Structure 1
Amino acid sequence: MTTLLAEISRLHYPRPPASPAQIAAFETHVGWVLDEDLRAFYLHCNGATLFAPLPDVNYHLLPLERIVRARVAILGRDEDGAGPASHYCVVDMQDGDYVIVDVAQRAGASLPLFDAWHETYPATKRIASSFGEFLEKALSSGNESFWLDG
């Protein structure tokens, strides 16, 4: 993660870091704990955009205060019929597409990441086993959604 975070600082648009107190408050609020990669990211920067600043950006890595359940961000409803309560948006692709973590599928120490498109949600597609893997692929994507065909 150290190399990836340095690249974000050098070539992209990071926000100031979150404090340990902000992270603790976030974890208390959502009821789950950030994995090691996400914790390192938020201690380095509390959100970032890759390749371009807002508003003209594909990859908007959300600050802690903007992380919400996917069913709320995508469908505007926080009810079981709108998708699992364990899905949380961590990246807004600015086109109705989100990258989410599923906190119910923690794989060892890591949270897997999924593509969640508004047209097909709550169906999702696994795109990375960890935030570090996602970040590595995103940073080498040339500002394209690396998981999409064509």
Structure 2
Amino acid sequence: MWQLLEEVSRSHFPNPPATPAQLAEFETRMGWQLDADLRAFYLHCDGATLFVPRDADPNYRILSLAEIPQVTTRFRRRDGSPMTASWYPVVDCEDSDYVLVDVAKPAPFPLLDAWHEAYPRRVRQIAASFSEFLERALRSNDHLYWLGE
């Protein structure tokens, strides 16, 4: 995970790190504990944009801790259908597409594709952990790797 985080800092657009107090407040507010991968990420940078600056419509914008509750509320209301209570958006892929973390599973938490055209009828796992997701995203050349070419 540390090599991935160094790459994010070196070649992408990370936010400043979250503090341990911010992590504790987030976990209390949300009612779930970050797994080791997410904890390491947020202590390194509280969100990040991969490949292009945030204002350039990025394919991969990893949400800050403060954004997760806000986006979760919007996401759960967007089509009127109930979202599984253990799914939380962690990556904004633009155009109302998100990558969700499933906190009901044992750590490390799997990540799911929540493509707006198919959600909630079809949600599929795209990584077994945040570190797997981040590694594959960083190697994707700014393409959503789970969609293929």
Matched, 1:53 2:53: yes
Q: Structure 2: give runs of 5+ residues left out of the alignment.
A: none
CA contact under 8 A between 1:69 and 1:86: conserved in structure 2? no
Q: Secondary structure at the match of 1:127?
A: strand
For 1:128, the equivalent position in structure 2 comes to 127
Q: So what's the TM-score if we normalise by structure 1?
A: 0.91
**Letter in structure 1 aligned against 2:102:** D
**Letter in structure 1 aligned against 2:128:** S
- 1:75 Cα deviation from its structure 2 partner: 4.6
Task: Show the 5 A alignment for 1:53-92.
Answer: 53-56=53-56, 57-68=58-69, 72-76=73-77, 81-92=81-92
CA distance in 1, matches of 2:114, 2:26: 22
Number of aligned pairs? Answer: 147
Matched, 1:11 2:11: yes
**Letter in structure 1 aligned against 2:99:** V
Q: Which runs of 4+ in 1 moved over 4 A?
A: none
Q: Secondary structure at the match of 1:67?
A: helix
Identity among equivalent pairs (%): 55
CA distance in 2, matches of 1:131, 1:51: 18
CA distance in 2, matches of 1:84, 1:55: 30
Matched, 1:43 2:43: yes
- 1:74 Cα deviation from its structure 2 partner: 2.8
CA distance in 2, matches of 1:69, 1:102: 17
Which is further off, 4-13 or 63-72?
63-72
- 1:69 Cα deviation from its structure 2 partner: 8.0
CA distance in 1, matches of 2:87, 2:69: 9
Which is further off, 113-122 or 45-54?
113-122
For 1:21, the equivalent position in structure 2 comes to 21
Q: So what's the TM-score if we normalise by structure 2?
A: 0.92
For 1:139, the equivalent position in structure 2 comes to 138
Q: Structure 1: give runs of 5+ residues left out of the alignment.
A: none
The root-mean-square deviation of aligned C-alpha atoms, in Å, is: 1.9
CA distance in 1, matches of 2:51, 2:7: 11
